[in-house]
Structure formats: C-alpha cells, structure tokens
Structure 1
Amino acid sequence: MTTRRVITDGDRGEEHNMGGEVWILGGSGRSGQAIAAQLARRGVAPVLVGRHAERLAAAAARAGGARTVVAGSAEAMAGEIRRQGPAVVVNTVGPFTATAPTVTRACLAVGDYVDLANDVAAVTGVLGLHEAASAAGRRLVTGAGFGVTATESVVVKLCAGRPAPVRVRVDMVPSIAVAAGHIGEALAATLVEGIPGVEGGRRYGGRRYRDGRLAPAPIGGEPAHLVLPDGERVTTASLPSGELVAAQRASGAPDVVAASSEAPASPLMRVVLPAATALLASARIRDFARRRLARVQVKAHPQPRPHSWGHARLEWADGTVEEGWLRVGEAQEFTGAVPAEVVRRLLSGEGRPGAYTPAALFGPSLAEACGGTYLPVTTRTAP
C-alpha cells in the first residue's frame, strides 16, 4: 500500500494520485476515527489526513492499514486535495470558521465536501457557497454531526407537505461518553471562536431568528423544562449553534429558537454570561482563554443516559402545534455515523449539487440509516 506523506507546505514529496478516495481531515482524532470505523462498515476505506505522522500511523493501524497524508496546516491539506483529487473530503478539524473556507475552495475544484461544523458562522459560510457549488457540480454538506442532523431531521419530517410554520423551537439533548484527556487546541478554538460571528447582534452574543432575520438573544435564555419520551426530565436553554440555521432553512419559519441541554440555564449564569462573553472581544483575552481551555483535563465518565434526543416543536398560523422526537444512541457514535452515511450516498451519486445541511439534502431517512428512530408526533391546537 502506498503512503503519501507531506510534512510541510513546501515539501511536495512523490507524486501519487488515487482517484475516488475519501479523505478524513483530522483522521487521528476521536471524531475522525469514529467516522473511519463507520465508513469501514459501509465498505469504504478512507485516507487519514492530519498534522502528526505518529498519531496518524497509530490510527491507520487501528483502521486496518489505511493510507495516510501528513499535512501541517489547512492550507497544506487544501494543496494536496487539489493535487490528488479525492472524491470526498470529510473535515473534522476546528475551528471550522478557519478551516472550512480554505478546504471548501479546494473541494470545489475536485470533489465533494462534508464537515462537522456546529456553529452559526461556519454553517452559514458553507451554505453561502450554494451557487458556486451548483455551478461546479459539487455537493457541500455542513453540520453532519449529532446536533444539526438530529434536530433538523425532525423539522424536515414535520414540515413535509405543510406550509411554513410561524414558530419553531429545536432542542438537542446529547448523551456522550467522555474519555479522559485534555480538551485540546482545536476544540478550544472552536468553542471560543464559534460564538457566533455573524450579523444580528454582538460578536460574542447569542442569536435567534425574529421576522426571518438573525437577532440578539441571551445565551442560556428561554429555558424549557422537557420531559423526554423515556420519562427523564431535562432543562434546555438557547444556544447560538448550527441547529438554529438548519431549523430556519428547513422550516422557513420567521421565528426560530435553538436550545440545548448543554447550555448554561441557571439564573446566575444568565446574569454573568453577557459580561463574560463581552471580554472575548479582546484578542489577548481570547488567546488566553483558548490556551487555558485547551489544557483543561477532562475526567472520563460514561454517557449520562441511554439515549440522545433531537426535539422540535412547530406552530402554524392556524394554531396547530406539533412536537416530534428523534431517539439515537450515544451522540458521538451518531456523529461518526452521519458523515459516513452522507459519504456513502455521495459516492453512490445521490444528492443534487449545491450546499446543504444533511437532512435538507437527503431527507429524514438519513437519520434512520444512522440508527435514529422517530417517535410518534404529538399534535394539538394551541389555546
């Protein structure tokens, strides 16, 4: 098996072209390895791409001897994408606001693109390439992870054959098994830079849709106390995430809120957060926050509940309200399955050219193919 290694931007190495390959950027990371395992179940042998040769080699061995490409930056990865021409590139490297523009430009020239972005700015940026992707005959899929896919899929299912609702709220309730280790530079940068970086309010403030436009909203606002279908009770609160953009586009609703059980929902945090996030306007404080967050040691713990949930509540102008749920297993496992299933469908020639979120391109069946189960919809008339 031939191995392609690129140590620096200037090191061109040997010429080697393997048409039809699937590349995973960040292939030695947790998400990259999960996606590689899911691709293998679908009969696809991926190429693992990343910065560290030793980590890639270890991950490749676990993946049954996958080919590797070592590239020192997003720019180096993009250069190799243009030169080697993989059929599909899966980007797991954050912050996606930094990596997605570089990698998508390369993919427009050679193949299709999939990423795990879940922040408003990165998802919006990829979707903004719809016309360019259509003209190039490429398919760009952003938000191919648990949060966007689980909530958007419920919205798409509830909206089928219906006029646009007037109000939508989506809630993601992940159940994640956490491995011991440091948060790391890429995740820390994603968390700091992904709030939310788009129009409609302060640079580091929350967002929602009002009258069809992004508008200010407090992070951790609009708390809701949900009873999960299995009887457990959770509290969710607003968070400026990719689910917000996906839900609005899938529904066409002018009024949309995205919430998560991971959002800080206590009254104290709702008071403290605006001042704390305002400090991030300082580049020096952002750099400090990223460095400290990257070094935080996380203790291992099992997933807190048997299932993860995507929830959507839609209200129409006639007063009809519908609520739907999608049940999946461990959220990280679902995040591995979604991009793998997207890749399988892209390789099979499914999906029209353009830029999309997963369910917008492939419909609610995608989540079912990844192990999700829709529960019966609750319908009532609002008072």
Structure 2
Amino acid sequence: MKTQIWILGGTGRSGRTIAAHLAQRGLTAVLVGRDAHRLHAAAERTDSETLQVPSLATAVSEIGRQRPAVVINTIGPFTTTAPEVVHACRAVGSHYLDLANDVAALSAAFEMHDAATRAGHTLVTGAGFGVTATESVVVKLCEGRPAPLRVRVDMVPSMAMEEGTAGEALIGTLLGGLAGRRITDGHLAPARILSDAVRLTLPDGSRVTTASMPLGELLAAHRASGARHVLSASSETPASPLIRAMMPAVSTLMRWERLRSFTTRRLARVRVKAKERPREHSWGHAVATWADGETREGWLRLGDAQAYTGAVAAEITSRLLAGQGRPGAYTPAALFGSALAESCGAEYLLPRPGGRGHASDSDPTR
C-alpha cells in the first residue's frame, strides 16, 4: 500500500492549514474535494496532491479502493460524515482522525472504540484546538494523582478570520453546543446553557468572560480526569443578557434533527468578514478540585487557534505513520499524553510546586 495522507474537505481553511503543517514535516497530503479549481489552488499553496470526487460517498468508495494510511476528516457535521468514513477506514485498516468538537460527535466516536480495537486501527476525534488545549491541561494537572471531585475547563480561542463562508463543520459544532449539558455524578445531565459565567484573568493580565457551552471538551475532560462533576465553558458565547435569556428556548428547538440540519445548512452559507485575531494568545484552562479541598489550576498558552489545530492534526498524523498509535477510539491527549500539546508549540503555566495557589489571580470556582 502506498503511504498516503488524505484530507477530506482539503480546500477548506482547516484542510489547507493541516496540509501546510504536514508539508513542514516533510509529508505530502492528498486534498480530497469536489471543486477542481479550488483543489488546484489549494494544492499549489500547500505543496499537496489532489483527488477530485463528486460526493462524500465517492470519497468513501475511494478509501476502500486506494487504502490510504491516514484519513483526516474536516467535513461537518461530523455526526453525519464520521460514521461512514470511519467504517471505510476500519475495513481497510486506515487510521482516522477528525476535528469534531461537539458532544454528540465525540460520543459516537467513543462508541466505536471496541470495533476499532478489533480492527487494529486508531480513531482520533477532537483533533483540534478546543479539545486538545483543555484536555491536555486536565491530563497535566491529574498526572500521578487520584481522580478529582470536580473539574472545570475553559476554552479561550484567538484566531484570525479569513473572508468566506462559515462552513457546516463550524456551524454544526456551535449548534451542538446549544444543547446544555454537564457531567453530574459521573453522568451526562441537562444543564442551562451559558450559565456559570466567570470573569477570568488570563496569565498575561487581560480579562475574558467564559460561560458554560458544552462542546467536546466536556467529554474529553471527564474521560481524562475521572471527575464526578465536570463543566466546560467558552469565551465564545453571546454576551447580551437578552440572548442569554433566549438560549434555553433556542437549544430546545435545536434538538429537532430536521430543524437543526436545516439551520446548519443555511447558516453554513453565511459569509464572514476577514478580521485580525483579538489577542496575541489562545488559552486552554482547567481547574481541578479534590475531595480534600485541594484545588489546582493550569493554563496552556499558544498562538492562533486555527494554526494550532493544523499543528495538532499534523503531529498526530506523523505519529500514526510512525506506528505510535493504539487500536481504539481516543481524543488527542488521551492517546499521546500531555506532551503532545507542547510538541505542537504550546506552553503550560501550572501551579507552583508544592503549593495550592493558581497560575493567575482569578477564582474560576466562585
């Protein structure tokens, strides 16, 4: 079998970013997509090869025929695209990874763990900024320690936006986060969306407000820590009191599959304007509290969140090609440990040795 790395949705921003990071590692990607002109332009920019297909179904068939070594899925919504792509990869022994970051998509991926183990292939979900940055801090805080009682994770992205459409992967993730969830007594439970707002002081002195938005970080943090109570939050939440008051009703409507699919398709076509990233750094943040009252807080500092997503996916791909994966379904830090984040250019800011203090002056538990 010829060693190939396929990127489904290779003409999108995530696909191009991953391909560029692979090229920096001396690896050539095959960009898979429908538009020949966009494929050609993206391939020239990232020193990649191309495969034009008219549909995802055709791409799935080609996976079975050409047997690539690794398939990177950037096409959302992942609850729809991932199962058939994973099935095709499992049948021929290809490793699979995606950028999913919603509770439903990660839950579905974890349910495929046993099948992946039996097939001897590795499935990595959540291979992007949000899951990797927050999960890695949790893993770091809990290394060599018993499971904490409570964990809170906060995602604080900063990234430049290029002009174009929002895309179904992003919109699907955001709409998935509208179904309020948290981990209570070890189980996924309903929760009010945008609750538990906290004003965080970042290690660089700037301040942001985060509120509950249960994306994939919730499940990743729970699996990484074993905590009985877990809350995930994001700085990318609506700040308006009116919007916050409306969100419970909106999240209820989004539970209707047909309405959610329709809304995803419509919003995915909305064009966004180019803008610079709002701050120098992106941050992953976690606070873990143990039954004896000890609390530890940690941060992961990195640059542009989109660029970091490309670095994470490329680093995982490189390790899978080197035979460092394990059969089964995993999130990035669960598979490769806390050092993965650092190998992608991030830096930990952790509690002082032997102390109970935090790396910042914020109190995220109040």
CA distance in 2, matches of 1:265, 1:258: 17
Q: Root-mean-square deviation (CA), in Å?
A: 1.8
Q: How far does residue 233 in structure 1 lie from its aligned partner after superposition? A: 0.6
- Report the equivalent of 2:329: 355
CA distance in 2, matches of 1:138, 1:291: 32
Q: Give TM-score, length-normalised by structure 2.
A: 0.93
Q: 1:235 aligns with which of 201, 209, 219?
A: 209
- CA distance 1:150–1:186, change in 2 (3 Å): closer
CA distance in 1, matches of 2:235, 2:66: 42
CA distance in 2, matches of 1:147, 1:281: 23
For 2:293, give the aligned amino acid. Answer: G
Q: 1:375 aligns with which of 346, 349, 363?
A: 349
CA distance in 2, matches of 1:236, 1:284: 30
CA distance in 1, matches of 2:49, 2:179: 42
Provide, for residues 179-229 of structure 1, a one-character-per-residue CA deviation record: whole Å limited to 9, x for no partner.
12222345434544x24xxxxxxxx62100000000011111111111000
Q: Retained in 2: the 8 A contact 1:218–1:270?
A: no
For 1:71, give the aligned amino acid. Answer: V
Say which is worse superposed, 49-58 or 68-77, in terms of deviation.
68-77
* Residues matched between the structures, number: 356
Q: Retained in 1: the 8 A contact 2:32–2:50?
A: yes
1:279 has 2:261 as partner = no
Say which is worse superposed, 83-92 or 68-77, in terms of deviation.
68-77
Q: 1:245 aligns with which of 187, 210, 219?
A: 219
- Report the equivalent of 1:210: 184
Q: How far does residue 285 in structure 1 lie from its aligned partner after superposition? A: 4.3
Q: Give TM-score, length-normalised by structure 1.
A: 0.89
Q: 1:130 aligns with which of 98, 113, 130?
A: 113
1:225 has 2:199 as partner = yes
- CA distance 1:361–1:285, change in 2 (3 Å): closer
CA distance in 2, matches of 1:128, 1:288: 26
CA distance in 2, matches of 1:141, 1:190: 17
Q: Per the alignment, in what secondary structure is the counterpart of residue 264 of structure 1?
A: coil
Provide, for residues 32-80 of structure 1, a one-character-per-residue CA deviation record: whole Å limited to 9, x for no partner.
000000001111101111121221111112222x221122332221111
After superposition, residues 73-222 of structure 1 pair within 5 angstroms as 73-110=55-92, 111-192=94-175, 194-195=176-177, 205-222=179-196
Q: Retained in 2: the 8 A contact 1:219–1:263?
A: no
- CA distance 1:373–1:103, change in 2 (3 Å): same
Q: Retained in 1: the 8 A contact 2:100–2:173?
A: no
Q: How far does residue 106 in structure 1 lie from its aligned partner after superposition? A: 0.8
- CA distance 1:58–1:132, change in 2 (3 Å): same
Structure 1, unpaired ranges of 5+: 1-17, 196-203
Q: Retained in 2: the 8 A contact 1:239–1:263?
A: yes
Q: Per the alignment, in what secondary structure is the counterpart of residue 380 of structure 1?
A: coil
Q: Retained in 2: the 8 A contact 1:313–1:324?
A: yes
Q: How far does residue 351 in structure 1 lie from its aligned partner after superposition? A: 2.4
CA distance in 2, matches of 1:186, 1:170: 22
Q: Retained in 2: the 8 A contact 1:237–1:265?
A: no
1:294 has 2:277 as partner = no
Q: Per the alignment, in what secondary structure is the counterpart of residue 284 of structure 2?
A: strand
- Report the equivalent of 2:42: 59
CA distance in 2, matches of 1:159, 1:186: 31
Q: Per the alignment, in what secondary structure is the counterpart of residue 40 of structure 2?
A: helix
After superposition, residues 332-343 of structure 1 pair within 5 angstroms as 332-343=306-317
Provide, for residues 93-118 of structure 1, a one-character-per-residue CA deviation record: whole Å limited to 9, x for no partner.
10000000010011112210010000
CA distance in 1, matches of 2:190, 2:14: 32
- Report the equivalent of 1:201: none
| Identical residues among aligned pairs (%) | 62
- Report the equivalent of 1:311: 285
- Report the equivalent of 2:362: none
For 2:307, give the aligned amino acid. Answer: E
For 2:72, give the aligned amino acid. Answer: V
Q: Per the alignment, in what secondary structure is the counterpart of residue 323 of structure 2?
A: coil
CA distance in 2, matches of 1:255, 1:263: 22
- CA distance 1:284–1:116, change in 2 (3 Å): closer
For 1:211, give the aligned amino acid. Answer: D
CA distance in 1, matches of 2:346, 2:305: 11
Q: How far does residue 290 in structure 1 lie from its aligned partner after superposition? A: 3.1
- CA distance 1:239–1:112, change in 2 (3 Å): same
CA distance in 2, matches of 1:287, 1:328: 33
CA distance in 2, matches of 1:337, 1:273: 34
For 1:91, give the aligned amino acid. Answer: N
Q: Retained in 1: the 8 A contact 2:180–2:251?
A: no
